């Protein structure tokens, strides 16, 4: 509703690709509620984070049924993708790591069929890299 770039922004269709810059518990709570209402066959989540967030509160909100593509945002505060993968596993969120947000999105797009949904988020910096 804000018309702000990167806030629940549809980047593509067939598969649907949504980028959302929610990066805290309150924003992600709304985004994950919206995500749950979206029609799809499979869910692919391209995720990155910065190293100064309360990731336990954030990761607890993400759906376990997604396939995750973990990547480090290209900033000094970016959390290493392997570290994010390890933290996410505590919440039953599983996937592979990628050397960049762009390569993670490319892999998600390659793996998705036209009825799937790809969500890109976890950090404003992740979304900025795909806009």
Q: What is the pLDDT of residues 17-64, one digit of tens each?
A: 999 988 788 889 999 999 999 999 999 999 999 998 889 999 999 999
Provide the mean pLDDT of the chain.
92
Q: Rounded distance, CA 43 to CA 125, Å?
A: 21
CB neighbours of residue 57 within 10 Å:
13
DSSP per residue over 48-99, as a string? --BTTS-HHHHHTTS-TTSEEEEE--SSTTBPPHHHHHHHHHTTT--EEEES
107: cis peptide before it, omega within 30°?
Answer: no
Task: Classify residue 110 as exposed, middle or buried by CB count within 10 Å of its CB (0-12, 13-18, 19+).
Answer: exposed
Q: What is the pTM of this model?
A: 0.93
Lookup result for tokens 């490319």: 106
Residue 22: per-residue pLDDT = 84
């Amino acid at each position: 509703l804000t018309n702000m770039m990167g806030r629940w922004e549809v980047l593509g269709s067939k598969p649907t690709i949504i980028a959302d810059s929610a990066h805290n518990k309150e924003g992600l709570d709304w985004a994950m509620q919206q995500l749950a209402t979206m029609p799809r066959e499979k869910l692919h989540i391209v995720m990155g984070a910065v190293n100064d967030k309360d990731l336990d509160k954030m990761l607890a909100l993400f759906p376990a049924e997604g396939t995750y593509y973990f990547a480090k945002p290209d900033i000094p505060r970016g959390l290493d993708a392997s570290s994010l993968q390890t933290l996410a596993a505590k919440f039953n969120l599983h996937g592979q790591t990628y050397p960049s947000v762009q390569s993670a999105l490319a892999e998600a797009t390659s793996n998705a069929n036209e009825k799937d949904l790809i969500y890109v988020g976890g950090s404003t910096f992740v979304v900025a890299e795909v806009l």
